[in-house]
Amino acid sequence: MQIHNLKRKTKNRKTEVVGRGGKRGKTCGKGQKGQNSRAGRKKRPEMRERLKKLPKLRGYMFKGYGDTVCPVNLGQITEAFPQGGNVNPVLIVKAGLAEIYKGKNPIVKILGTGEITKKITVSNCQVSASAKAKIEKAGGTVK
């Protein structure tokens, strides 16, 4: 082997040719004239342009704050439980006054709209002040 038979392990990097020849000369691959060939081109994608114009709402990600409370009026309880007795979220769901929420019994709040004449015992429910007064006036209790 002689010195003129040796070959390099890696080839020389070719320097970029400017001007008409080379890879990125003259227009640098941007074509000719127009907004796209200018420096600092700021063209937003068309799809993004449409999305930006849509009304901004909370969307499907927003779950809300805390648990939802299911309101039930005293008038509805009088119709659903005509003979009185115990009233709790399980019985309220069975009577059809509320629906199961996320696989569990809902948080029920009893409001004071309507009249009650029978004696009822309310347990595991939130009760407004006016409803509590009416229930106790009819001889019932709130636990």
Cβ contact 122:84 at 8 Å: no
**pLDDT digits 0-9 by tens, 36-83:** 898 888 888 888 888 888 887 766 666 666 778 999 999 999 999 988
Q: Give the whole-angstrom CA distance, residue 100 versus residue 118.
A: 26
Q: What is the average per-residue pLDDT within 133-141?
A: 93
Residue 14 neighbours by CB distance under 10 Å: 8
Q: What percent of the chain has pLDDT over 70?
A: 90
**pLDDT digits 0-9 by tens, 6-28:** 999 998 887 767 667 667 777 88
Q: Give the whole-angstrom CA distance, residue 67 versus residue 59.
A: 18
At which residue do the structure tokens 């008409």 appear?
A: 20
pLDDT at 110 over 80: yes
Q: Give the whole-angstrom CA distance, residue 143 versus residue 136.
A: 11
pLDDT at 97 over 70: yes
Q: Give the whole-angstrom CA distance, residue 69 versus residue 107.
A: 5
Residue 138's contacts (CB-CB under 8 Å, 6 or more residues apart) are 116, 117, 118, 119, 120
pTM: predicted TM-score of the whole model, two decimal places: 0.54
The class of domain 69-142 in CATH terms is alpha beta
